[in-house]
Amino acid sequence: MRLDIGGWFESVIDWMLVNFAWFFDGAAWLVNQIVGGVEYVLIGLHPFLLIAVLAAAAAALTRSLGLTLFSAVAFLLIVSMGLWVESMSTLAVVLVSVLFSLAIGIPLGIWAALNSSVSAVVRPILDLMQAMPVFVYLIPAVFFFGVGRVPGIAATIVFSIPPAVRLTELGIRKLDAELLEAAMAFGAKKSLILKDVQLPLAFSSIMAGVNQVIMLALSMVVVAGLVGAGGLGGVVVQGVAQLDTARGFEGGLAVVILAVYLDRVTSGARSLGDVLRNRRIRKEQRAAAGTPAVAAVS
């Protein structure tokens, strides 16, 4: 006896296309507008000006002279290869995809951390999503949105969600129980504890999730190029199709440059969050230590 699971899946896709075509058309329009706006800004700015901004961001978040110089030289290399427009198009797609992935993944991770039943339901779904071959995500995306940039973004969003959920949940769950009990003992509401205690202390883990989401989104760039997403993925796919080794290598090198830059910058933002939190804690401790002295003098 053969179970026609693929046939059932196809029936679900067909039913959704018939009943929710309006939703997919609206979502495609919205995504195109958002990506188009981001792309317009990135491509509209002069390359040298944007390179200076990106290098300054690397310097501010990582405080590393080496990475700052690497960022400037690497992006100038992209310009010299004639791939600046394609790189900024890819960066726009990655930024929008990551934004949507985090908007879904972080709240879901918080919910799973605060509710064990939700965690039990979400965990096997995330396992399935991470075990699924990358190309499988493109099949329903193409059915829903056709070919072009939107199906690539949709597949990237779904593919990139699991790390955001897992690391957000892990960051909140691994917090010291005594710390939470102390906050509750002072009468703090659960929402206040989440906002002022759990999320700040889990910031490092959440940023690690952001880093992984970005890396997964970039890994989908070339795959999305197969369905007409354009950008650097389109350059690599074109190089393979035309057996143009030089162009394919240049496209791949540009993807690597974007990956290294985004990885180091988000890692730097993660450590910067720890520094700011420690500074705030020291400030609060000094203020608390000074309060009795002020009271005694008065």
Compute the radius of gyration of the chain from its Cα atoms: 23
Among 175, 178, 183, 181, smallest CA distance to 204 is for: 175
Least confident span in 5-19, 160-174, 268-282: 268-282
Helix (H, G, I), strand (E, B) or coil at 196: helix
Q: How far is CA 214 from CA 95, 158, 164, 253, 295, in A?
A: 8, 13, 10, 17, 51
Mean pLDDT, residues 212-230: 81
Spacing of C-alpha 116 from chain mean position: 25
The pLDDT tens digits of the residues spanning 243-258 come to: 888 888 888 899 899 9
> By the 8 A CB rule, do 152 and 233 touch?
yes
The pLDDT tens digits of the residues spanning 110-128 come to: 999 888 898 899 999 988 8
> By the 8 A CB rule, do 209 and 199 touch?
no
**Distance, CA of 7 to CA of 282 (rounded, Å):** 61
Q: Identify the residue with better confidence: 262 or 278.
A: 262
Query: CB neighbours (10 Å) of residue 22?
Result: 8
Q: Is the pLDDT of residue 135 over 90?
A: no
Read off the tokens for 148.
Answer: 């072009």
- pLDDT given for residue 101 in this prediction: 92
Mean pLDDT, residues 275-286: 63
> By the 8 A CB rule, do 86 and 92 touch?
no
The pLDDT tens digits of the residues spanning 206-219 come to: 888 888 998 888 88
Q: Identify the residue with better confidence: 223 or 206.
A: 206
Question: CB neighbours of 86 closer than 8 A, spacing ≥ 6?
Answer: 230, 231, 232, 234, 235, 251, 254
Least confident span in 14-18, 91-95, 173-177, 215-219: 173-177
| In the chain, % of residues over pLDDT 90 | 19
pTM reported for the whole predicted model: 0.82
- pLDDT given for residue 294 in this prediction: 47
Q: What domains can be seen in the chain, in order of their start residue?
A: 30-266 (1.10.3720.10)
Least confident span in 149-158, 171-180, 183-192, 223-232: 183-192
Give residue 142's identity as a one-letter amino acid code: V
Helices of type H across the chain: 5-19, 21-44, 47-62, 65-80, 84-114, 116-131, 134-145, 149-173, 177-185, 190-193, 199-201, 203-219, 221-225, 231-241, 245-297
Rounded (5°) CA angle 266-271-111: 70
**Distance, CA of 217 to CA of 161 (rounded, Å):** 10
DSSP label at 41? H
**Distance, CA of 73 to CA of 294 (rounded, Å):** 54
Read off the tokens for 293.
Answer: 């002295």
Q: Report the half-sphere exposure of 52 (CA within 13 A, side-chain side).
A: 5
- pLDDT given for residue 142 in this prediction: 82
- pLDDT given for residue 105 in this prediction: 92
Give residue 287's identity as a one-letter amino acid code: A
